[in-house]
Structure formats: structure tokens, C-alpha cells
Amino acid sequence: MRLNKLLESRMKVRFHDCDPFNHLNNSRYMDYVMTARGDQVQEHYGLDIYKMAREEGLGWVSAQTQLAYMVPADLMEEIVIQTQLTAFSGRSLSVEALMWNADKSVLKALVWVRLVHYDLHAKKSHLHSAALMQLFEQVVNPFAAATDFETRTRELKSKSAGL
């Protein structure tokens, strides 16, 4: 069975997540992305990260985040969040998330997150299991060439403007 590399879900921007201008509050973008990714990996890969944390004491912690805000997400707007694993190692994952309007014609935000696999009991990084490494190998969607966040942001802005 071939697994999807680019995962997608829809959410609605809620009142309690907005600022006084009825835009999604800057601090909530990461919450929306991480919630979407957790739901997506469970639905598409059968990986329940919450159960893993509860039963095995293992999870992932954010080590680095980069976020480019492009166009505000508005109150009660339906948004699409696409995520993909762009790189992985024995102890870390790199995930990219794109937040779009409902028909994916306007890019709202770009997010890059580096996550470190973490042992909640020992309070230190932990090697990924062989089964996780095998899953990551199947679903990783690396960039065609080495790129940095600013270059990727410019590339996506120009593509989004050209739609």
C-alpha cells in the first residue's frame, strides 16, 4: 500500500482563536498546524501520537519553528492545512505545513518545524524505533534541492500570486 506524502485537512477559524481584528491570532497558527498534523498522521498512517505518549512515554517536542505569515486567516473562514515530512534522522523530524484558504488559491502561512523524538520519563531525546524509521522512509517528501526558509517563502509567495 502506497502512503500519501502530502496530507491535508480542513479546519474552521474559531472566535476564541482570533485577535481583536477577527484574524487568527499569531500564536494560534502553530496550534492549528500541530493539531492538523496529529490528526493527519493518525488518520493516514495509523500513528496515534497521543496514545504513544500515554502508553510508551515517547513523543516529539518542538526544537525549532519558523513561520511566515502571508495573508490573515479570518474568523469563521474554512482553511486547508497541508503537511509533509521533509526530512528525518534517528532522533528528529522536519515537517512543513502550508495553510491555505478553502480552495487553495491563497496561501495564508508557511510553517517549518523541527521536532525531536523525546522520552518523557528520562527527559531526554530518544532514538526512533525501526518501525518509525521505516514509516518515515515511506512518507518523506524531501525538497528537490537544498533550500532555506526564506527561499521557500519567496518561492511559495510567487507561486501563490501566479494562481
pLDDT digits (tens, 9 = 90+) for 63-73: 999 999 999 99
- pTM, two decimals, is 0.94
State the cell numbers at 127.
532514538
Is the pLDDT assigned to residue 136 strictly greater than 70? yes
- Domain boundary assignment for the chain: 7-161
Reported as a pLDDT band with limits 50, 70 and 90, residue 145 is confident
Is the pLDDT assigned to residue 37 strictly greater than 70? yes
Reported as a pLDDT band with limits 50, 70 and 90, residue 162 is low
CATH 3.10.129.10 fits 7-161, yes or no: yes
pLDDT digits (tens, 9 = 90+) for 66-122: 999 999 999 999 999 999 999 999 999 999 999 999 999 999 999 999 999 999 999
Is the pLDDT assigned to residue 46 strictly greater than 70? yes
Is the pLDDT assigned to residue 1 strictly greater than 80? no
Give residue 18's pLDDT.
97
Is the pLDDT assigned to residue 163 strictly greater than 70? no
